[in-house]
Amino acid sequence: MKDIPDLGPLQNATKFSRPPGLVYERDSSWIIVWTSLFALVLATSTYAISKWRFRHVRKQASTLSAEPHPPGVVPYWFPLLGHVVPMVWNAEPFVNGVIEKYGLENPFTLMASYLPLTFVCNPDHIQDIFRSHKSLPDNTSMAFFLGSVLGAKNSAVAYYRADNSGTGFKAFEHSTVEEKDRVYFHTVNTFRKFLAGKHLRDISQRFLDNLERNLAKLGAEDDWVAFPDLYDFLQEECGKAAVEATMGSKILELNPNLLRDVRARSRLHRSITKWHSYAREHSDFTRIRSKDPEWEPYFGSKLVRARQEYLSYMEPLDAHAGACEDMGLLYTINENSVTSAFWLIFHILNDQDLLDRVDNEIKESLTSPKDSGSDIDLDILLNKPLLQSCFAETLRLHVSSAALRINRFEDYHLSNFVIKKNQSVLIPTRPSAMNEERWSAWGNGLKKPLQEFDGERFLTEAPPKDGQKAGSKPNLTFSLDGTAGLWVPFGGGHHICPGRHFAKMEMLGTLAVLLGSYDLELGVRTVKEDLWYYPNGTLPPKTAVPFRLRSKRR
């Protein structure tokens, strides 16, 4: 055997002086150090470059002679993430922080990973876009909602996305869609037709009658009845009244827990499918004639029957897609309008002077008592100045949505900027609603800070009437004049929300039924909005608002 040389203490030290795993621990620490250093350099350099580009674009935009450029991308730290983390985690505060830092006069772009989203917050630019419906049509938001929120199949979503014909009676010049496949036009036009005029009047009166009938069953005729949350109470009671008025009575008979399943998508889909199957066996929706009744128990209003009619001959929209469509209708009926009604009632009950004046306007809208049905005259109610001002102020303060437009056909010029073809444009409502400079310059000025509810914000003093005595109270009138681009809870232009008249009726009708017939007392006086729901419409309350009510007619 070959002799092994004796290395003495050095050999022993090398083999036994440290634990064997320590060398690997040292190597892994260097990996962590180098990875962290690389991430730091990448983030710093990405931010520096994106900041320089952003400033360069803004500087060029301030030069009138410069060529139009795409809006600058707000500085960000990581190239693959962009702004996606703060947009998902804390969207509205993040967007507000960007506006506070860089201003809202110029459009800016945020990167949702690889998807650029251009935000337009300047009221003048907003008006320009609302007037440019042919250049910036809006069907992408409906397709997104149908697929991502309601769970429609990819084929149905693709059918919506392919419709580039617009919502006018005449399709866009560049449209590639056949007349029979203009799904977006049929959807919007059906709302426009059957949520207006005599059709809206019938639905509205049924809503009031249903709500009064349902509230009478609560047992509040003789004494106070307490409830844990005003918001949940309105979701349930107003929801049932609105669903029956629009979609018929059978849907609730077949699905007693329907409104509780609004956020349980699979159960709700089964409930809608069950209703569709039953209603089609008992009702003919294939032809909507003027002499047909406005309402029947199976499919309800002409609005819903007309929707069933056009969906039935669009082949890609099968029974599953039809159920998703009416899930969207149910969501629309039961979410934004009822949530807005909550805030309207909450603010009025917190101001005794305002409550007294609102009570007077409600009393002035009452007709002679009827044997059955509501005795509220909607024509009078919906035109009362203070009530309309409270309605408009509620939406200004609590609606936090974002109108989406896609530049489908060609580059679109906006001041010194250019919106490239297929670029997504978002118009958030809250920056306009809180634009102190513009609201201060508005005719009414700022009576109260924009962060506070002011029921009189939209009231103006009208000229004295003929024969009016000197020194009498001024005549107040409701007006939105001069608020274009500032007050945009329903969007604007050709794509303005077709259900806005129904929403106004639902809010003011609910207020009139409750305050006209009941005493209400709130258990809390302050409540915050739940910003997690941005930008999906009216923000709900973050915590419960316990309350009690009793009949005024006891």
What's the confidence (pLDDT) of residue 135? 59
Q: Which residue stretches of 106-257 are H helix?
A: 123-130, 140-144, 154-162, 183-194, 197-215, 230-247, 250-254
What residues in the chain have per-residue pLDDT under 50? 1-24
Place of tokens 């915590």: 543
What's the confidence (pLDDT) of residue 66? 67
3 state DSSP class of 216: helix
Compute the distance between CA of residue 248 and CA of residue 254 in angstroms, rounded to an integer.
Answer: 11
3 state DSSP class of 333: helix
Residue 540, preceding peptide bond in cis (omega within 30° of 0): no
- Record the pTM: 0.89
Residue 428, preceding peptide bond in cis (omega within 30° of 0): no
Q: Which helix (H) or strand (E) holds 154?
A: helix 154-162
Within 10 Å of residue 96's Cβ, how many Cβ atoms? 15
Among residues 260, 287, 283, the alpha carbon closest in space to that of 271 is found at 260
Q: Which tokens go with 358?
A: 């609102």
Enumerate residues 6+ apart whose C-beta is below 8 A from 2.
Answer: none
What's the confidence (pLDDT) of residue 134? 64
Domains of the chain from N-terminus onward: 1-119 (no CATH), 179-551 (1.10.630.10)
Place of tokens 């149910």: 330
Q: Which residue stretches of 481-521 are H helix?
A: 500-517
Compute the distance between CA of residue 288 and CA of residue 302 in angstroms, rounded to an integer.
Answer: 7
Compute the distance between CA of residue 69 and CA of residue 58 in angstroms, rounded to an integer.
Answer: 9
Among residues 321, 323, 344, 341, the alpha carbon closest in space to that of 333 is found at 341
Enumerate residues 6+ apart whose C-beta is below 8 A from 247.
Answer: 275, 299, 300, 301, 304, 326, 329, 330
What's the confidence (pLDDT) of residue 261? 79
Q: Which tokens go with 325?
A: 């469509």
- Structural contact between residues 110 and 77, judged by C-beta atoms closer than 8 angstroms: no
Compute the distance between CA of residue 28 and CA of residue 32 in angstroms, rounded to an integer.
Answer: 6
Q: Which tokens go with 397?
A: 């303060």
- Structural contact between residues 323 and 269, judged by C-beta atoms closer than 8 angstroms: yes
Compute the distance between CA of residue 163 and CA of residue 400 in angstroms, rounded to an integer.
Answer: 27
Compute the distance between CA of residue 543 and CA of residue 235 in angstroms, rounded to an integer.
Answer: 15
